[in-house]
Amino acid sequence: MRVSFPHLGHLWVPVRALFTELGVDHVVPPLNTRRTLTLATKNSPEGLCLPFKLTLGNFIEACELGADTLVQAGGAGICRLGRYGRTQEYVLRDMGFQFQILTAGVSEKKLQGIMQLFKKISGGAPWGRIVSAVRFGLAKLNALDEIEKEVHRVRAREKVKGQASALFREATKAVDETGDYDSLKRRKQDYLEKLRAVPQDGEDPLLVGVMGEFYVVLEPFSNNDVEIELGKLGVEVRRDLFISEWTRFSLFLNPLGINEKRHLQQAAMPYLKRDVGGDGWESVGEKVLHARHFDGLVHLAPFTCMPEIIAQNILPSVKEDIPVLTLLCDEQTGKQGMLTRLEAFVDLLKRRRASRRQKVGVH
């Protein structure tokens, strides 16, 4: 058995650590590139969303590297995610690949489903070893997310653009190569200190929330590195979605009845009273809640994603006043066009902030 999995941001780092700890032979597919997208688009059914296509592209490249067991997320929700695995299996078999595909029913089986999956992949490893491997993987995930939050803060203020992003790439590599908790703790602290030491301009940057569909928010290739581009424009990005947070609640706290999205869903209730699948309900709630704290919102959605299409159509009727820029992500999206829209959006936010400060006499 040679296991592989699709990319989602830096999730490959903790997954690789987990498989290594369990002694599982595995393949990390190449990071998403134009080739990944081209392979996926060529072989995907027409009309499917970008997350489906890119994860299919990851599987194609993994099979080319010898993977014979593919792990895909599953679920019983309204989103098409629940059908990804079966549809991708048909496509890959038509292409001639020999493999098995395992789906992790995260939404209904939570931690139990994930642990049973690891038990199967590891060939029946003892539960103590599996728990230890999961803990170490989660420690790496937490470290990277903590560093990334600091990157968001520094990127908007750095005097020489690109330093924070370069340090984050270094940190990702360093965390990936770390083999024990003490080294992990030291490296996390080292990179946090390096980021805080980056020369900064002392400006008060615009605050922009990034929200929308889970995959396109967390996978930089799918959104044309929108957070990096906002940082280059002097904008500090804030987002609620981090893989470590999702893992903590979805696997451990949701089964205890703790719903981390309840405040967003309640905020959305005047405009949308039920779950519409994916993250559409929460996107509406984010506009309501963040209108008082942020200068603007960037709403990311895969093209043809029905939950986010519903949210996109409701957002203009939300009475809370904050500009929202919706960016639809698919293989036809050109980066230059996105940059033009981001620059215009940031200019609008700057003028809006200046106007507001002028009214209250703040300079």
The one-character DSSP state at 44 is S
Helix (H) or strand (E) holding 236: strand 235-238
Q: How far apart are the C-alpha atoms of 18 and 138, rounded to whole Å?
A: 9
The DSSP letter of residue 200 is B
Q: What is the pLDDT of residue 361?
A: 73
Say how far apart CA 99 and CA 82 lie, in whole Å: 20
pLDDT at site 253: 83
In the sheet with 100-105, reading across from the earlier edge strand, the strands are 26-27, 3-4, 69-74, 100-105
Residue 64: predicted pLDDT? 97
State both tokens at 268: 């959305």
pTM across the whole model:
0.92
Residues comprising the chain, all counted: 363
Under a CB-based contact definition with an 8 Å cutoff, are residues 307 and 213 in contact? yes
d(CA 101, CA 25): 15
**Regions of the chain short of the pLDDT cut 50:** none
> Which pLDDT score is estimated for 107?
64
The predicted pLDDT at position 303 comes to: 93
| pLDDT at position 106 | 66
Identity (one letter) of the amino acid at 151? V
Identify the CA nearest to 300 among candidates 357, 195, 359, 229: 229
Which pLDDT value is given to residue 362? 64
Question: Cα–Cα distance between 263 and 260 in angstroms, integer?
Answer: 7
Structure-derived torsion over alpha carbons of residues 284, 289, 294, 300, reported in degrees to the nearest 10: -20
Q: What is the pLDDT of residue 113?
A: 82
